[in-house]
Amino acid sequence: MVSTSSDPTLLLVLGSIGLLLFGAMGYGIYTTVGPKSKDLRDTIKEHARMHELGIAHGHGKNGEHSH
């Protein structure tokens, strides 16, 4: 049989972690679909497009790549 503890420290710690986790998830969802979401840029898509155009990375002398 499992005994119960009356120490609230574990509950407080786990509750705080849960609150932070759900708060971060809620903020992420709000940022993704909220009113300011139209201002977000897809930087990976932009970078892939620059690769297609051949301008993603500058090229130095002697064929060295610079990032």
d(CA 18, CA 26): 12
For residue 9, pLDDT over 80 is answered with yes
pLDDT digits (tens, 9 = 90+) for 20-51: 999 999 999 998 898 888 888 888 999 999 99
CB 56 within 8 A of CB 47: yes
Question: Domains of the chain: which residue ranges?
Answer: 9-66
First to last CA, the chain: 61
Report yes or no on whether pTM surpasses 0.85.
Answer: no
d(CA 48, CA 67): 14
Q: Give SS3 for 59.
A: strand
